[in-house]
Amino acid sequence: MHEELRFDKIPRDGGFRMDGYWVWCGSVVEEPGKGFHMYAARWPKSHPMFEGYLLMSEIVRAWSPVMTGPYRFIEKVLPSGDPRQWCGRMVHNPTILRYGDRYLLYFIGSTYDEEVPAADKIKERKPLLDCIYQRIGIGLAVADTPCGPWRVCARPVLEARTGGWDAAIVTNPAPCLHPDGRIFLYYRSNTPEGLRIGLAVADNPEGPYRRIQDRPVINDYHVEDPFVWHNGVEFNMLAKDISGAITGEANAGVRFVSSDGVAWSVGDPPQGYSKKVVFEDGHSELLGCLERPQLLLDDKLRPKCFFAAAADGPGHFRNAVNTWNIAIPILN
């Protein structure tokens, strides 16, 4: 029952954009009978894209009556702006998960109270950026409705481990609800051999989250940006194939499958999505970036829409002029 995705054509006016902002990530939950809520990251274009997210990324909620959008901005959700909170100044990588009658918003966060050097002071900014990066943890906010209010856990639910393989950072949270109610929280860390995917499991959303083993669950491939779901039979994962060694296309999506969520194998076929996309008008385009994949599932746990961070330009985030969240309907 491997989940090979078949994509429909993309509406030109779909997805989510904001003038004057870099828009990234983008995770959607459906409110039955009302519409669709997207939680995305944004930060002002007055700052360089990559450095800017560390300083000023925030999570916003956008809404659309239809699945593919266009989504319109509703409100800022996080951060609070209080540097005394562990996630008070920067939040990023939102993923929304419905858990019974509650909504779980996972994210990464950090804080700082240092003065930010001007945007053109690249060398002066680097020490602060390094500090913010090293303080990143994975957080959780909980609400009874998609509109909030959101209750943020006072501490990260997962942090980097001194002396562990994941001592550098924990980022790219990918929560997956197991049929037995446990939450499998996948994440990415940096190692000398490349980027690797780890796993921590909790019986309840607030934790504790315990590493399932002392090594990555995906240890042989240079991948990031996992999205994981259980279709009632097995675990499925989409991730970004950074070098293209698995799919043959650098930064395309690779598929992994697993019976237990711990031992993973490459899917057949291995490629989950391409950076080359086709719009409803028949025009095809090779995007500069297509990453941070997220899926909206139907009530039978089948994917029905693909969301991802998209960028124009010749490739890589540093070359982007515009970014947005793209919405691609899936054929069943």
Ordered by start, the domain boundaries in the chain are 6-331
Element (H, E) at 241: strand 235-241
Decide if pLDDT at 16 tops 80. yes
Write out pLDDT tens, residues 212-261.
Answer: 999 999 999 999 999 999 999 999 999 999 999 999 999 999 999 999 99
Does residue 280 sit in helix, strand or coil? coil
Q: Quickly count: other Cβ atoms within 10 Å of residue 244's Cβ.
A: 14
pLDDT over 90 for what percent of the chain?
92
CA atoms of 185 and 208, how far apart (whole Å): 11
Confidence category of residue 54, pLDDT binned at 50, 70, 90: very high
Q: What is the mean pLDDT of the chain?
A: 95
Between residues 26 and 118, the one the model is more confident about: 26
DSSP classification of residue 318 = G
DSSP classification of residue 218 = B
CA atoms of 259 and 265, how far apart (whole Å): 10
Averaged pLDDT, 301-324: 92
Contacts of 97 (CB under 8 A, 6+ apart): 29, 103, 104, 105, 106, 175, 177, 183
> What fold, for 6-331?
Tachylectin-2; Chain A (2.115.10)
pLDDT for res 186: 98
The tokens for 305 are 């829409």
Q: Are 256 and 229 in contact (CB under 8 A)?
A: no
- Please name the residue that has the structure tokens 């309907």: 329
The tokens for 307 are 């969301």
Does residue 97 sit in helix, strand or coil? strand
Averaged pLDDT, 43-53: 92
pLDDT for res 2: 60
Decide if pLDDT at 165 tops 60. yes
Q: Are 235 and 260 in contact (CB under 8 A)?
A: yes
CA atoms of 223 and 219, how far apart (whole Å): 9
Averaged pLDDT, 186-208: 97
Q: Are 294 and 304 in contact (CB under 8 A)?
A: no
Confidence category of residue 1, pLDDT binned at 50, 70, 90: very low
pLDDT over 70 for what percent of the chain?
99
The tokens for 280 are 């409803």
pTM, entire model: 0.97
Averaged pLDDT, 78-84: 97
Question: 180: buried, middle or exposed (CB in 10 Å: 19+, 13-18, 0-12)?
Answer: exposed
pLDDT for res 122: 74
Write out pLDDT tens, residues 93-141.
Answer: 999 999 999 999 999 999 999 988 887 787 888 999 999 999 999 999 9
